């Protein structure tokens, strides 16, 4: 995103500190295995404000860093919290951390559900692109993660299995694969004869 080194340090600091406000949330709520009550969820939704209040008087911490901590649960369509901000009201740090935090949360095992696979979460983010999340940030994020690791086994939408040979940098959802039955190399992004195919799941 063409950030300077200083801006990247500030963004990284904001990412490290983004959930610090959870220190103010009772552990029994954070670690509750079942569904949260409305009151418990309302309590958790206060953690961005708690985190911001913990760092707002620290002069050595940049204002954009503080904004990322405060706004990482805001969503572009106004459905986020704590303030229900919309697209242009949310800082770029807040938008970036929202994408990274959602990916991290969904690819991590929770007491109430197992982790989703990286490609499922990226598909989810793309589905919400330009609604809850900034689509340009999601696309740039996709180039920074490995959705289908090279050498991994996947099942294609026609039922055949294939080995991932190489990731396509411009579309990580459509890598180059090798059909394990025929040894045919298929570029899911650029081979026009195979654009109807997609990866169904990781085997």
CB 132 within 8 A of CB 79: yes
**pLDDT in the model for residue 168:** 86
3-state SS, residue 45 = coil
Cα-based distances in Å from 192 to 187, 195, 196, 197: 9, 5, 8, 10
Q: What is the pTM of this model?
A: 0.83
Cα R_g (the chain), whole angstroms: 20
Q: What is the pLDDT of residues 142-161, one digit of tens each?
A: 888 888 889 999 999 999 99
**pLDDT in the model for residue 70:** 98
**pLDDT in the model for residue 57:** 97
**pLDDT in the model for residue 119:** 85
Domain range list for the chain: 5-142, 153-202
Instruction: With a cut of 70, list the residues of the chain below it in pLDDT.
Output: none
Q: Which CATH superfamily is domain 5-142 in?
A: Hypothetical protein af1432 (1.10.3210.10)
**pLDDT in the model for residue 163:** 97
**pLDDT in the model for residue 188:** 94
Q: Which segments of 11-160 are extended strands (E)?
A: 153-156
Residue with tokens 């959930």: 19
Three-point CA angle 3, 147, 69, nearest 5°: 40
**pLDDT in the model for residue 160:** 94
**Measured torsion, CA atoms of residues 159, 160, 166, 167, in degrees rounded to the nearest 10:** 0
In terms of C-beta density within 10 A (0-12 exposed, 13-18 middle, 19 or more buried), how is residue 28 classed? exposed
**pLDDT in the model for residue 56:** 96
**pLDDT in the model for residue 179:** 95
């Amino acid at each position: 995103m063409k950030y300077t080194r200083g801006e990247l340090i500030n963004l990284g600091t904001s990412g490290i500190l983004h959930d610090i406000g959870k220190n103010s949330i009772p552990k029994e709520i954070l670690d509750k295995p079942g569904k949260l009550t409305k009151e418990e969820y309302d309590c958790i939704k206060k953690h961005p404000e708690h985190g911001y209040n913990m760092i707002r008087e620290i002069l050595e911490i940049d204002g954009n860093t503080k904004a990322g901590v405060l706004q990482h649960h805001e969503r572009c369509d106004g459905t986020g919290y704590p303030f229900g901000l919309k697209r242009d009201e949310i800082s770029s740090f807040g938008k970036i951390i929202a994408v990274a935090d959602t990916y991290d949360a969904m690819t991590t095992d929770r007491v109430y559900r197992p982790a989703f696979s990286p490609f499922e979460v990226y598909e989810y983010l793309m589905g919400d692109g330009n609604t809850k999340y900034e689509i340009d940030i999601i696309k740039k994020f996709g180039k920074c993660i490995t959705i289908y690791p090279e050498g991994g086994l996947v099942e294609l939408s026609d039922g055949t299995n294939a080995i991932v040979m190489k990731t396509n940098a411009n579309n990580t959802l459509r890598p180059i694969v090798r059909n394990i039955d025929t040894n045919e190399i298929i570029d899911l992004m650029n081979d026009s004869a195979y654009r109807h195919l997609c990866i169904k799941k990781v085997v």
